Amino acid sequence: MKKAILIILLILAILILPVLGGSMIWVLGGSDRLDINGTAQVYGRPAASIDVGDGWPAYGGDAGGHRYSKVDQIGVNNVKELTIAWQYQTGDMANRPAAMWRTASQGTPLLVENSLIFCTPFNEVIALSPGNGRERWRFDPQINLEQEPANQFICRGVAHWKDPSSIAKCSSRILMNTNDARLIAIDARSGERCQSFGVNGEVQINPGMELLWPGEFQITSPPVVVRDTVIVGSAIGDNARVEAPAGTVRAFDVRSGEARWDFDPIPRDESNPATETWKGAQPPKEGHANVWAPMSADEERGLVFLPTSSPSPDFYGGLRPGDNRHANSVVALDAETGELAWSYQTVHHDIWDYDLPSQPGLYTVWIDGRARDVVAQVTKTGFVFVLDRDTGEPVLPVEERPVPQLAADGESLSPTQPFPVATPPVVPISLTPDDAFGITWFDKQACLKWINESNFEGLFTPPSEQGTLLFPFTGGGANWGSAAFDPTRNLLVINMSIMAHHVQLFHGYEFQDMRKVFHDQEVSPQAGAPFGMKRETLLSPIELPCNRPPWGVIAGIDLATGNIVWRKTLGTTEDLAPGAGRKLGTPNLGGPIITAGGLVFIGAAMDNYLRAFDVSTGKELWKGRLPAGGQATPMTYQWGERQYVVIFSGGHARLGTTLGDAVVAFALPD
């Protein structure tokens, strides 16, 4: 009944709402609109200086996460001719129908050993022929489907390693992390287990403490390989307790699986200089600060770059006074030893769940005629930090600014937070009653009441018993889809969501009563802290966001200056309310890629499309219909005389997009 009402109201909205052009965005939550129609500059550098874009051998295109391809057969003048070249079904919809409602299909294939190799949400690894999508082999680790994973069943990708001195079995291998916390090595040519790796081709990752339930600890992002070391992060359920599993990053010998080193972002040894930023119990009792998002690697420097998350629990930090380094930080480690090279914190003393959610981008940016190796980190808050790759010092300026200080009893806030100066936030960071949205008067009034009754003094307003708005919400801004970088234009392309969360603290002894009353919402105990928490997305009675659209954008940023060159709406309501699709933008999960043909390809939005944008202007040039949600990052390659663009079209259960199990390849007509 509610969906029928939503459809009717959205149809009415076609007559009521103003037209929002693809280049319009509400700036900083105010009533003014900004139309950015800039053009990305092409830098006249020799092609030989661009050493990325050959094939797709790593999750982010290359180890540094460029998501850029030199292939240019498909360009701005012929992209409208794209059609489906082939489609492959994994079989999950038929074979695991009950479990599909706990999945998010986020995998990006690799092109290695003349095969497209990807993982399904259930950690099956499948190899396909790049030219026709026919299955070559598949490997099933038979994960535990009863584990109730905290973060759904997810496998974003796999890693590849090859021994150049050998052609023996497993000299070329695929490495995969699993939802039940294993690291598995299989032969890249046959899909058979590499028996010399660990026990029967796998290493079981020990979370270090007893779990509250089997799915509290899982691994969803791909490992990263640097030389002969494979490095693994983890994904851990949030807000259950203070004394939670540690966010330890672990490294293993890529041949044998033997442990090499581990790194806990939270200092447990008083000799660690970061200890002085943890002024609570020593050693700290808190867990997490884990690396659940993809990592990146600089093989020449021998460094691995970690995007760390918040300590446990997310929304109360009174037991851990101080900045809490190296949580919420870009951390560079020596890949061979695990020793800290440098660390840069983007959020001090996080109590907003503002993890670093995306792969650090390792790019070479041309500034004032000089090449500069940088790390570009996009964030949930909509900020872009650009750091020197050797030192971690900001390349584009960052300043500490005062932030709201009225917090819950016992909390210990940082008086300031880091704000990039050159690049304004890509999404609004302010939400006022004037920004309340509704497609009817009644709908808008409900949102207006909610905003008026909530505590919000701007970004970094602390959670409260009254109820606080988090804007952007904890899903971003940016998320795990990360960014793409065009090295010929200095242009970073990033997609972001624009929604709000309402977070309310309550006394710990009230947890059972709160869970009974709000049984259909997220209510967590934060056991060990004085407060539990309730979190919900700020939605109207008909389940539309309470902030005005667009609710999803994609932008191009010049990393030499920090200027936002263009910014456009991403997504329509077509598949949320068939027949009433509007270009309002939608929340999005998945990332962009860029090609030398001058195109940005992206799925991500809550409608079933793969889109192509002009990388110079952000103009949408094409969209191809998908059989299910495209909440994955695409990839591209040339096979024979033909360029293909491939995306996993499997949907996202929690986001509410169409579920499926297809890998879809687009190409120009043969």
**Which residues are tagged catalytic?**
353
Instruction: List, in order, residues 6 or more apart from 45 with CB less than 8 Å away.
Output: 366, 488
Q: Distance between CA atoms of 455 and 464, rounded to whole angstroms?
A: 8
DSSP 249-312: EEEEETTT--EEEEE-SS--STTSGGGGG--SSSS----B----SPPEEETTTTEEEEE--PBS
Tokens of 199: 């026990």
Contact 307, 359 (CB under 8 A): yes
Which amino acid is located at 73 in the chain? Answer: Q
Contact 16, 577 (CB under 8 A): no
Q: Look-up: residue for tokens 């050693």? A: 283
Q: Distance between CA atoms of 628 and 624, rounded to whole angstroms?
A: 12
Contact 84, 624 (CB under 8 A): yes
Closest alpha carbon to 565 in 614, 621, 634 = 614
Q: Distance between CA atoms of 580 and 151, rounded to whole angstroms?
A: 31
Q: Is the dihedral of CA 264, 269, 271, 277 positive or negative?
A: positive
Q: Look-up: residue for tokens 């500059």? A: 41
Q: Is the dihedral of CA 173, 175, 359, 647 positive or negative?
A: positive
Q: Distance between CA atoms of 396 and 433, rounded to whole angstroms?
A: 33
DSSP 118-143: EE-TT--EEEE-TTT--EEEEE----
446-451: long-range contacts, CB 8 A cutoff, minimum separation 24 = 446/540, 446/541, 446/546, 447/538, 447/540, 447/546, 450/502, 450/538, 450/546, 451/538, 451/546
Q: Look-up: residue for tokens 């492959």? A: 88
Which amino acid is located at 560 in the chain? Answer: A
Instruction: List, in order, residues 6 or more apart from 575 with CB less than 8 Å away.
Output: 581, 606, 607, 608, 629, 657, 658
Q: Distance between CA atoms of 266 and 287, rounded to whole angstroms?
A: 8
Torsion (CA) 539, 544, 549, 551 in degrees, nearest 10: 80
DSSP 195-259: TTSTBTTEEEPP-SS--SSGGGEE--SPPEEETTEEEE--EE--SSBSS--B--EEEEETTT--E
Q: Distance between CA atoms of 506 and 567, rounded to whole angstroms?
A: 39
Sheet holding 249-253, edge to edge: 224-226, 229-232, 249-253, 259-263
Closest alpha carbon to 307 in 323, 330, 327 = 330
Helix or strand (DSSP H, E) at 15: helix 2-16
Q: Distance between CA atoms of 207 and 245, rounded to whole angstroms?
A: 6
Contact 411, 530 (CB under 8 A): no
Tokens of 5: 């009402």
Q: Distance between CA atoms of 176 and 198, rounded to whole angstroms?
A: 13
